Amino acid sequence: MTASIPHFLLERERDRNESTRGGYSAYAAHRARQMALMGDRRGERLAVLGAGNCNDLELSTLAASFRELHLFDLDEEALDGAWRRQNDDVKRACHLHTCDLTGVASFLEAWKAAPPEPLEAQLAAWTKLSAVATACGQFDTVLSSCLLSQVAINLRDYFGIVPALNSALVAAISGHVMLAAALTKPGAAVLVTSDCITSRYPIREEAQARGALNAILHLAAQGAAFPGTDPELVASLLTSAEFSRPELKDAWIWDVGSQSYLVYALEAVRHA
Ligand SMILES: C[S@@+](CC[C@H](N)C(=O)[O-])C[C@H]1O[C@@H](n2cnc3c(N)ncnc32)[C@H](O)[C@@H]1O
């Protein structure tokens, strides 16, 4: 499935994931927040979108709550590495899916040469993603795990600041959120976590003064969020008659090496 993913994207994510592959212990605080979000959710099938190295989840705990763990990412090596770290029971529960979760990857080269109209880009992306949704079926919980900012940064660096960037970004972000919703069973929850504001902004001071959630809303209102990750935008993409109103469940600071990010968690439940 990686044949249609441009070299640029694959190299990018492989390099990044390789640099954090041994970082399970460094992810402890972030992982604890993600696992708290998973709480006592259980069921037959869990989908993790942007699973990568799986440093941000305890797969052994999740395997006690879900019969099947479906791990999705464009980086096959990261998924394989995460799988190899697990014990035999967890390995048996895991199903690895190497694919693009934005629908735009296979169009990037063509769009660089001839920028698409925004609607045309969204339709093209959704054609790809609806095939993923049909092939994979629905899940008892769907977690999109800090993938949106990577998508935004990759597209910015691939296109530069040109009109095609906007069409591709809108198609990728809205397509990904629609995919996460489409994978969610009636009665089940879709969760989107996203790092959204870097420590180039005063995230610690704001979080201390207002709490992390209000710090995100405050700084995002001033345009500090990575394009495509503003929680109000993502909540609006999750809003539909089929789902409960998206709710911001938690927010925290994620320290990764020398950088730190404000992260939020959004949840919506598909009506039974
Ligand atoms: C910041 S990481 C998330 C952390 C990851 N769950 C972990 O614990 O290592 C974002 C993940 O999204 C994946 N990703 C980025 N763009 C993608 C795309 N278009 N399709 C699928 N996966 C993508 C990357 O390969 C990476 O593993």
Please give the helix or strand (H or E) that residue 155 lies within, else none.
helix 148-159
Ligand 1 pocket check for 194: Cβ under 6 Å: no
CA neighbor of 49 nearest in space, from 103, 106, 9: 103
For residues 125 and 172, give the distance between their C-alpha atoms in angstroms, rounded to a whole number.
Answer: 7
Ligand 1 pocket check for 151: Cβ under 6 Å: yes
pLDDT tens for 71-80 read 999 999 999 9
Given a cut of 80, whether residue 2 has pLDDT beyond it is no
Q: What is the CATH number of domain 2-269?
A: 3.40.50.150
Ligand 1 pocket check for 195: Cβ under 6 Å: no
Task: Report pTM.
Answer: 0.97
CA of 136 to the centre of ligand 1 (A): 18
pLDDT tens for 53-71 read 999 999 999 999 999 999 9
Lateral strand order in the sheet of 43-49: 94-98, 66-73, 43-49, 139-145, 184-198, 259-269, 247-256
pLDDT at 3: 62
CA neighbor of 193 nearest in space, from 38, 79, 3: 38
pLDDT at 4: 74
CA of 82 to the centre of ligand 1 (A): 13
CA of 11 to the centre of ligand 1 (A): 12
Residue 15: what are its φ and ψ, rounded to 5°?
A: -60, -45
Given a cut of 60, whether residue 121 has pLDDT beyond it is yes
Atom from ligand 1 closest to the CA of residue 53: 9
pLDDT at 172: 98
Tell me the average pLDDT across 187-206.
98
Atom from ligand 1 closest to the CA of residue 31: 8
